[in-house]
Amino acid sequence: MRRKLNTLAFMTLFGIAPLPAFSAQKAVIGYVFARGKPLAGGDIAAEKLTHINYAFANIRDGQMVEGSADDAANFRVLNGLKARNPHLKVLVSVGGWTWSGNFSDMALTPESRKRFIQSAVAFLRRYQLDGLDIDWEYPGQQGLNNTYRPEDRENSTALLAELRKALDRAGKTRGRQRYLLTMATEASDEWLEHTEMGKAQASLDFVNLMAYDQFGADSDAITGHHAPLFTSPANPKHNSAATSIDHFIAAGVPPRKLVLGVPFYGKAWGNVPATEHGLYQRGGPTEAKLETSFGAISRDLENKNGFVRQWDDASKAAYLYNADRKIFITYEDEQSVHEKARFVMDRGLGGIMFWEYSEDPDNKLLDAIDGVLAHR
């Protein structure tokens, strides 16, 4: 009599790697930016996170290297959080806005990619990490005066595919179930034009959509929400998180892999007229120095010192306006984050990620996320 094999047994017998499991549990991914300083585990609410992405590792001479002398100690602190949350995954993010200049050269040839990948696997093993987050800002685009090439489009796809294979081999060798591979992506059509997300997503566990920095006084002479959930008819750029999500899905990224990024910081303009409480009005950089982390906004500015909190229901976004000082601030608050968490649930997305943990010291925004996603 023939023995009937279940699916897992069949795949094991014939050496077929199982696909990653995607549960109904939503990811809550916090980027932790140490800024070259030691971390304190007691400052992180590990129970309310599913993943921590530590920022940043660097690329030097084609290899992945530590970004700070404190990295080893900080990885020990983050791994220690698993005593409080055994399901927590700790990843390292490589690159970022400042350190993306060497990606294009590194990804250029099979040999250069192999050199980086070997160093990345060794890095994960050295610090007992759960995965790697690629933060290339941006393939095929200049970013911060970076080297870039048209070939970045195909080379970034190849880099991810080769990383996925190497991580799977390394995980099997070490007895680990799976090393995670994720990517931080620009929430724009320009990103989609310069990448192959329909192909690239096959190598990724999550696509972390940086759906923020849509407006800023350093680049825009008109105020606007820098992280709107929906596109308001009044928005001259016609952008929003929901629009980007639709475009990434149309490009071939499954909703369950898309993680919506939210900012734990705001942006300010000065010399803004009072029309519409400053929204979509002309302005420029502020003369006054303002701290615009959410913690500082919540503590010092929100409905204080002449700053009045406003709500744009079309965009589901909060903002502040100070009529006396003519200052406009776009920012995320508990209500806007709640709306985004509901959107994640309604659209069947993978979860929420945020930049950056320390900018919400009282966990007000994290609590708003946790209250909706209820991942525990």
> Is 347 part of any domain?
yes
**pLDDT exceeds cutoff 60 at 17:** no
Taking residues 141-162, what's their average pLDDT?
Answer: 98
**Phi, psi at 312, each rounded to 5°:** -100, 105
SS3 of 211, please? coil
Range of the domain at 246: 22-263+333-373
- Quick one: pLDDT band at residue 220, thresholds 50, 70, 90? very high
Taking residues 85-113, what's their average pLDDT?
Answer: 98
| Structure letter (DSSP) for residue 69 | T
> Is 276 part of any domain?
no
Taking residues 139-149, what's their average pLDDT?
Answer: 98
pLDDT score of 24: 65
> Is 54 part of any domain?
yes
The predicted model scores a pTM of 0.92
Q: Are 133 and 188 in contact (CB under 8 A)?
A: no
> Is 10 part of any domain?
no
**pLDDT exceeds cutoff 60 at 200:** yes
Angle at 264 between CA 261 and CA 266, to 5 degrees: 110
> Is 228 part of any domain?
yes
3-class SS string, 165-195? HHHHHHHHHHCCCCCEEEEEEECCHHHHHCC
Summarize pLDDT for 243-277 with one digit per residue, the tens.
999 999 999 999 999 999 999 999 999 999 999 99
In this structure, are strands 327-331 and 267-269 parallel, antiparallel, or unpaired? antiparallel
By annotation, the residues acting in catalysis are 137
> Is 11 part of any domain?
no
**Phi, psi at 330, each rounded to 5°:** -95, 135
pLDDT score of 177: 74
**pLDDT exceeds cutoff 50 at 71:** yes
- Quick one: pLDDT band at residue 288, thresholds 50, 70, 90? confident
d(CA 140, CA 153): 6
Which residues are paired to 352 by β-bridges? 28, 260
pLDDT over 70, % of the chain: 93
> Is 292 part of any domain?
no
- Quick one: pLDDT band at residue 357, thresholds 50, 70, 90? very high
Rounded to a whole number of angstroms, the CA Rg of the chain reads 21
> How many domains does one find in the chain?
1
CATH number, domain with residue 242 = 3.20.20.80
**pLDDT exceeds cutoff 80 at 22:** no
**pLDDT exceeds cutoff 80 at 298:** yes
- Quick one: pLDDT band at residue 179, thresholds 50, 70, 90? very high
pLDDT over 90, % of the chain: 90
> Is 120 part of any domain?
yes
pLDDT score of 6: 38
Taking residues 140-148, what's their average pLDDT?
Answer: 97
**pLDDT exceeds cutoff 70 at 235:** yes
Give, to the nearest 10 degrees, the angle between helix 110-126 and helix 152-174: 40
pLDDT score of 282: 98
Taking residues 86-91, what's their average pLDDT?
Answer: 97
- Quick one: pLDDT band at residue 117, thresholds 50, 70, 90? very high
